[in-house]
């Protein structure tokens, strides 16, 4: 029972018309492309490690750590694009028959909650990076400094926060135009 929600502007115009929206969309697209490349790399490392273990009894050292880090970064990098394209999973069991105005209000509240939550995650990622760098914490097998992972998660969640704030503003503006 997934509801098809129109794009940010109009169903036939998926690209935002304002400068801020276009900038965030392009930044989100670049971020998602980077996330896809990371995820593809993680898949390649996994396949190479499994084949190496099976054929030569020589897996890639630290493959699980590399895949974990790459997947976390890929997710953080792809979420902003999903927000800009309104492509997050929506459970509309209770709101399916609600009026469009109620659904827009709920979408706006959800965007604001997402903006705040992702801003907190970005902030805590940067704080975690600082603490991990200060304490010298490193990955168990590879010995990579863990602050690398934390500091690279922050920008993805910061961008997610910005795109959620944009979505919040955009839904409100569109609601004002309808009135």
Q: The dihedral of CA 45, 49, 50, 54: what is its sign?
A: positive
Backbone angles phi, psi at 13, to 5 degrees: -130, 80
**Residue 89: what pLDDT?**
80
Alpha carbons within 13 A on the beta-carbon side of 65: 15
**Low pLDDT (below 70) residues in the chain:** 1-14, 179
**Residue 11: what pLDDT?**
42
**Residue 80: what pLDDT?**
97
**Residue 174: what pLDDT?**
82
Q: Which residues contact 16 (CB under 8 A, 6 or more apart)?
A: 8, 9, 22, 24, 25, 84, 170
**Residue 27: what pLDDT?**
97
pLDDT in tens, 37-78: 999 999 999 999 999 999 999 999 999 999 999 999 999 999
Instruction: Give the number of other Cβ atoms within 10 Å of residue 15's Cβ.
Output: 12
Distance between CA atoms of residues 40 and 101, nearest Å: 40
Distance between CA atoms of residues 83 and 21, nearest Å: 12
């Amino acid at each position: 029972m997934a509801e098809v929600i129109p794009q940010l502007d109009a169903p036939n115009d998926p690209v935002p018309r304002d400068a801020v929206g276009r900038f965030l969309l392009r930044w989100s697209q670049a971020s998602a492309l980077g996330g896809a490349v990371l995820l593809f790399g993680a898949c390649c490392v996994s396949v190479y490690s499994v084949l190496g273990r099976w054929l030569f009894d020589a897996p890639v050292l630290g493959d699980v750590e590399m895949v974990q880090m790459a997947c976390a970064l890929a997710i953080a990098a792809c979420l902003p694009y999903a927000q800009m394209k309104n492509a997050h999973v929506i459970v509309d069991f209770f709101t399916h028959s609600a009026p469009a105005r109620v659904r827009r209000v709920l979408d706006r509240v959800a965007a604001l909650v997402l903006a705040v939550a992702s801003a907190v995650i970005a902030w805590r990622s940067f704080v975690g990076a600082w603490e991990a760098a200060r304490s010298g914490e490193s990955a168990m097998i590879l010995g990579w400094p863990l602050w690398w992972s934390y500091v690279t998660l922050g920008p993805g969640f910061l961008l997610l926060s910005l795109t959620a704030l944009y979505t919040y503003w955009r839904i409100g503006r569109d609601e004002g135009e309808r009135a």
